[in-house]
Structure 1
Amino acid sequence: MINVEQIVVVIDDDKSVCRAIKRLLLSVGIKAETFSTGEEFLDTLSSTAAYRPACVIMDFQMPGINGLELQCRLAPTRVPIIFITAHDDPTVRDKALASGAAGFVRKPFNAARLVKTVEIALGATPIPIERFVP
């Protein structure tokens, strides 16, 4: 079961992707907050001592701090990171996973796969896949 107090952070410079993931997560009972840049998220993280997301879903290629750099900065927090990207370069994927990423999902993403990846990162019991079948 997912702790309802847990917050999943979504970081993507494409606001429509942020909205879509937030709606998807809310539909399965996972609270989500969105950020347009890694810098915006880091500012919130550093300015609010009690703020600690349960998981971060982020785009790999963003203006400013890219996904790998942000992953390195977040490493001390041990927050699970799931990358989402339209540019699935096996070398980059392998580097991200070797650096501790909890998952790597290609855009356009499959809703069931993304939710299952988040649940695994949160240590939750996966929701049956039938819930996503139209």
Structure 2
Amino acid sequence: MNNVTRSVAVVDDEVSVGRAIQRLLRSVGIDSEVFTSGEAFLDALAATPPYAPACVVLDIQMPGLNGLEVQHRLGGSGLPCIVITAHDDARVRSQAQAAGAVAYLRKPFDDSALIGAVHGVLGVPPVP
């Protein structure tokens, strides 16, 4: 299998969830960096030199800036967002999709669904 060298940002206030996603991505050769808040992620993007992930896996329910607010601040950046949430709500789903989310996954999600969404963003062909 080809190793993908582009990094994926994982933004989730639950440390255990962020680490689990990081391990899952690593298992298929994808590097990632975990952020426990939307603010920390946005700060990394604004740093010098800026952090430049290929996409972001973004939790909706977080203290401080929630995922929708982070997604709104990313508007126009071209950074693909894969939204994850434990609290599926039709209004929130609609807002995330309207803001350009490339995938919307409800926790607990199927590992292959997340890997497929990330591979889609990175342009990695699906594994048969």
Same-fold call, TM > 0.5?
yes
Unaligned regions of 5+ residues in structure 1, if any? 129-134
TM (norm. structure 1) is 0.89
TM (norm. structure 2) is 0.93
* CA distance in structure 1 between the partners assigned to 2:99 and 2:62 by the alignment: 19
Do the aligned residues in 2 keep the contact of 1:116 with 1:127 (CA within 8 Å)?
Answer: no
* CA distance in structure 2 between the partners assigned to 1:77 and 1:122 by the alignment: 16
Tell me the CA shift for residue 3 of structure 1: 6.5
Greater per-residue helix proportion? 1
| RMSD of Structure 2 on Structure 1 (CA) | 1.5
Do the aligned residues in 1 keep the contact of 2:88 with 2:106 (CA within 8 Å)?
Answer: yes
Match of 1:122 in 2: 122
Do the aligned residues in 2 keep the contact of 1:25 with 1:31 (CA within 8 Å)?
Answer: yes
Give structure 1 regions of 4+ aligned residues with deviation exceeding 4 angstroms: none
Do the aligned residues in 1 keep the contact of 2:3 with 2:28 (CA within 8 Å)?
Answer: no
Aligned residues: 128
Q: Does the alignment pair 1:37 with 2:37?
A: yes
1:68-103 deviations in Å (ceiling 9; x for gaps): 110011122211001110001012111111110111
* CA distance in structure 2 between the partners assigned to 1:92 and 1:79 by the alignment: 19
Do the aligned residues in 1 keep the contact of 2:3 with 2:29 (CA within 8 Å)?
Answer: no
Unaligned regions of 5+ residues in structure 2, if any? none
Following superposition of structure 1 onto structure 2, how do residues 4-15 of structure 1 map, counting pairs within 5 Å?
A: 4-15=4-15
Following superposition of structure 1 onto structure 2, how do residues 1-134 of structure 1 map, counting pairs within 5 Å?
A: 4-128=4-128
1:12-61 deviations in Å (ceiling 9; x for gaps): 00000001000000000000100000001111111133421001001101
